[in-house]
Amino acid sequence: MPKKTFAIGIDLGGTSIKTGVVDKKGKILDQISVDSKASKGPPSVIQQMIFTIQHMFGKYKETECMGIGIGSPGVISVNEGLVKNPPNFANWDEVSLSKAIRKATDLPIFVENDANVAAIAEANFGAGAEYKHFLYVIWGTGVGGGIIVDKKIYRGPYGGAGEIGHVSIDYNGPVCNCGNHGCIEAYIGQRYLSQRTKEILKSQPKDMPPSKIIDFVDGNLDKIDPYIISMAAEQDDRIAREILEEAGKLLGYALVSVLNVIDVRVVVIGGGISAAPHYVYKAMESALRSRILKPNKAAVRILRAQLGNSAGMIGAASLVM
Amino acid sequence: MPKKTFAIGIDLGGTSIKTGVVDKKGKILDQISVDSKASKGPPSVIQQMIFTIQHMFGKYKETECMGIGIGSPGVISVNEGLVKNPPNFANWDEVSLSKAIRKATDLPIFVENDANVAAIAEANFGAGAEYKHFLYVIWGTGVGGGIIVDKKIYRGPYGGAGEIGHVSIDYNGPVCNCGNHGCIEAYIGQRYLSQRTKEILKSQPKDMPPSKIIDFVDGNLDKIDPYIISMAAEQDDRIAREILEEAGKLLGYALVSVLNVIDVRVVVIGGGISAAPHYVYKAMESALRSRILKPNKAAVRILRAQLGNSAGMIGAASLVM
């Protein structure tokens, strides 16, 4: 029997499907990315996933593959490999990805929520490798989370634990996409953050030196996104810095409530906005430390995720290992 | 060998120590309550606990006792039976209650946090008996919680999970005893609720009919406590009703954040203020349902605890069973 040397990890997203061949040390040996046909419905997306798998089996022996792991948005029933209502995917009610992919291979298939998958990657091979317990926060388009306890995902009784983006920091705050008020996602999620930046820039007095953000988007404020804000912040733009520091502080406040409830002490920040400058982390950590329950003040720490965009593939492959 | 028929459950509090003989069905066969010498330091308190145990062994055979369970305030290390810094107990740094009580008996001894103990009681014999998973909320002097998953306490990695009183509903809100801002305890804990009632009563226009609360305390507003407010509310006092409904609504908002993180759907409310009228529960449940994440809207429910003041003794005894 051939030795099993790798697993395939698929990071299923509304924009792209990234499929990687990952060895036992979490190293990506090969990868392919295709634009996701999320708007075309489940059969097209499944066809794409199978294509990327077969592409890899043209280069790596299927007999040496341990199995296939998939990280997906939406609500996941881990046992049945079921994906429910992933946002940004059209006509997708409830689909068993395990069943669908099994038509193409006899290998074991595992499906898990995308935030949880990234958390597992950081737990095994990234910023969380030294810690048994931590909260992984994905800070990007939205804000999500995965709770790692004893090196494993804590899913809660129904598999949905860790929705930290919908922890409210102000019950009279702005309305979130989810219907709640003052969710941390409604302050620091990509869309909200860009919107607020636009408003702040518009309200600046004309005689102030213009923000670098305006240069970066050629004056078109609709083009603002957190990456642009980060770039401006790195060039010491005052407004960009203030916006990101404020966002970090607010995330720190949300984390106080979360950690007081789940009693975890280490937080790993991943997702697109986690590349923000160091002082954003400082603002976050000082907000958290100043308000968390006393016995935990000294022990809390916030770390930057280490695996970047590859966390999805690596974590998905880890599901198999 | 004699048949083991009962356990002893001790509810250790800053005001009283309640010790009960509890059978396997959660029925209290006998009980004794003594005023707690909390201000005299650990040796006095331990002496009192041993006294109540010996009192019971004068009436019930020690050989038929399964063991002794203790519910205590403070941070508990369950494995060592250690109680750290219980609020309202003088000179109490870190004391192993297991070790101290073991001098008086060879029976097995179990120590657990008081909110967790009450949660266990409701899980086994009370409002939570039908549910595998729920959040127990103790609403009284402070606000605390115990998370029940698969009929067992979920302690989190360090044993401190469930501090829901220190979930903030407004990061700019009033300062809580713990140092954080806008904790739900800082709105609806006994002291804060009484204080706010006092302020509201003082600010009422003179030509309004006076609130029944003022009658109940003979005009001395310093005597207001949640029990008085509840009594007035039951007699349809408008101000009392508004205050309690508002408190219920705010607790509902705090629960949104908590349930979004831990993915539990049933909440059991215990503690002194849980005796509040039905409409307080309605306010709580409608606040929770209106704002929780969509997939859980239909399933959430809030129940009144059933074991009242006995939950501590029954739950403590359950630790043994």
ipTM: 0.92
Contact A293 B250 (CB under 8 A): no
What tens digit of pLDDT does each residue of A148-162 get?
999 999 999 988 899
B179–A150: do the CB atoms touch at under 8 Å? no
Supply the pTM of this predicted model. Answer: 0.93
Residue B295's pLDDT band (cuts 50, 70, 90)? confident
Task: Give the mean model confidence (pLDDT) for residues A242-262.
Answer: 97
User: What DSSP element (H or E) covers A22?
Assistant: strand A16-23
User: Which chain A residues touch B135 with a CB distance below 8 Å?
Assistant: none
Burial category of B113 from C-beta neighbours within 10 Å (exposed 0-12, middle 13-18, buried 19 and up): buried
Instruction: Name the residue of chain B whose CA is nearest to A145's CA.
Output: B261
Q: Is the pLDDT of residue B177 over 90?
A: no
Most confident of A11-15, A226-230, B71-75, B169-173: B169-173
Distance in angstroms (rounded) separating the CA atoms of residues A312 and A74:
14
Q: Do A256 and B169 touch (CB under 8 A)?
A: no
Map residue B168 onto helix, strand or coil: strand
Is B90 in contact with B40 (CB distance < 8 Å)?
A: yes
Q: d(Cα B254, Cα B262) in Å, to the nearest integer?
A: 13
User: Which pLDDT band holds residue A88 (cuts at 50, 70, 90)?
Assistant: confident
Chain A interface test: which of B75, B151, B257 (most A C-beta within 10 Å): B257
Q: Which residues from chain A sit within 8 angstroms of residue B166, using beta carbons?
A: 256-257, 260, 293
Cβ within 8 Å, pair B264-A164:
no
* Confidence band for B88, pLDDT divided at 50, 70 and 90: confident
Question: CA A157, CA B186: separation in Å to the nearest integer?
Answer: 29
Cβ contact B262–A161 (<8 Å): yes
Q: Give the residue-averaged pLDDT of B196-219.
A: 90
Structural contact between residues B182 and B173, judged by C-beta atoms closer than 8 angstroms: yes
| Average confidence (pLDDT) over B178-202 | 94
Residue A114 has pLDDT above 90, yes or no: yes
| B221, burial (CB in 10 Å: exposed 0-12, middle 13-18, buried 19+) | middle
Task: Say which of A168, A265, A295 has its CB closest to residue B257.
Answer: A168
Is the predicted pLDDT of residue A215 greater than 80, yes or no? yes
What's the rounded mean pLDDT across residues B176-196? 93
pLDDT attached to residue A191:
87
pLDDT in tens, B89-116: 999 999 999 999 999 999 999 999 999 9
Cα(B254)–Cα(B231) distance, integer angstroms? 25
Does B1 have pLDDT greater than 80? no
Binned at pLDDT 50, 70 and 90, residue A227 comes out as confident
Considering only CB atoms, A260 lies closest to which of B75, B166, B264, namely B166
d(CA B288, CA B164): 15
Whether residue A2 is predicted with pLDDT greater than 90 in this model: the reply is: no
Rounded Cα distance between A268 and A122, Å, is 8
Contact assignment for B160 to A256 by CB distance below 8 Å? no
Average pLDDT of every residue of chain A = 94
Asked if A263's CB is within 8 angstroms of B178's CB, the reply is no
Q: Which helix (H) or strand (E) holds A232?
A: helix A226-234
Mean per-residue pLDDT for A79-96?
A: 91
Q: Does position B207 have pLDDT exceeding 90, yes or no?
A: no
Q: Which residues of B touch A75 (CB under 8 A)?
A: 295
CA distance A214 to A201: 8
Distances (CA, A) of B59 to A122, A179, B54, B103, B315: 58, 58, 9, 20, 21
* Higher pLDDT among residues A142 and A187, named by residue: A187
Q: With an 8 Å Cβ cutoff, are A178 and B293 in contact? A: yes
Rounded percentage of chain A residues whose pLDDT exceeds 90: 84
Residue of B260, B290, B294 best to disrupt the A interface, most CBs of A under 10 A = B260
Q: What is the pLDDT of residues B12-42, one digit of tens each?
A: 998 899 999 999 999 999 999 999 999 999 9
pLDDT of residue B186: 95
Locate A6 and state its tokens.
Answer: 């790798």
In this model, does residue A263 exceed pLDDT 90? yes
Mean pLDDT of chain B: 94
State the nearest Cα–Cα gap between B59 and chain A, in angstroms.
Answer: 42
A&B contacts, CB < 8 Å: 131
pLDDT band at A310 (very low <50, low <70, confident <90, very high): very high
Q: A172: nearest CA in chain B?
A: B170
Residue A145: what pLDDT? Answer: 95
Q: In what side-by-side order are the strands of the sheet with A75-77?
A: A75-77, A82-84, A94-96
A166/B132 Cβ within 8 A: no
Structure tokens at A15: 């924009």
Where is average pLDDT lowest: A121-135, A259-273, B203-217, B298-312? B203-217
